[in-house]
Amino acid sequence: MEDINSYVAKFEPHTLSFETDPSGPLSVGQKVHAVVAGGRKGTVDISSEITEVVPGKKVVETVRPNEFFRRMVETVTLGPAHEGTRVSIEVEYEPKGIVSWFFARRALGRNFAATLSNVKKAFEADSP
């Protein structure tokens, strides 16, 4: 399996840079810094921490407050599905003001749609 940095570079086109500290498999307490496309300046710095990991089942990432969010928590859950794996992403966020709310709705929706589309294409390309 690829490490998380390879995954992000391959599947998340909106993520311009991504670093973990320490590097390696995701673990509780691990710090994450990403630069994503968007925002008033064209990019948004996002700092977060991995707050829960259940290997092969769940990862929870808590984003530190930034110019758009007072609070944001992203939960990725994996589970069995007919002939495959079900992947769900749940995002809870509290935007700063109405402009941030519009940015969050538009940008998050577009970004998750692009990521899921890329993952789907990769898995279908590997299928017989």
CA distances to 3, 12, 60, 82, 115 from 89, rounded to whole Å, are 19, 14, 10, 19, 11
- pLDDT band, residue 11 (cuts 50/70/90): confident
Counting the structural domains of the chain, the total is 1
Q: What is the CATH number of the domain that holds 43?
A: 3.30.530.20
Per-residue pLDDT tens over the stretch 21-64: 998 888 999 999 988 877 667 788 889 999 999 988 888 999 99
Per-residue pLDDT tens over the stretch 54-98: 988 888 999 998 877 888 898 988 788 787 777 777 888 887 877
Say if CB 12 and CB 4 are below 8 A apart.
Answer: no
Say if CB 72 and CB 54 are below 8 A apart.
Answer: no
Q: What is this structure's pTM?
A: 0.74
pLDDT (0 to 100) of residue 124: 60
Is pLDDT larger for residue 100 or for residue 63? 63
pLDDT (0 to 100) of residue 1: 38
Is pLDDT larger for residue 122 or for residue 25? 25
Q: Which domain holds residue 70?
A: 4-126
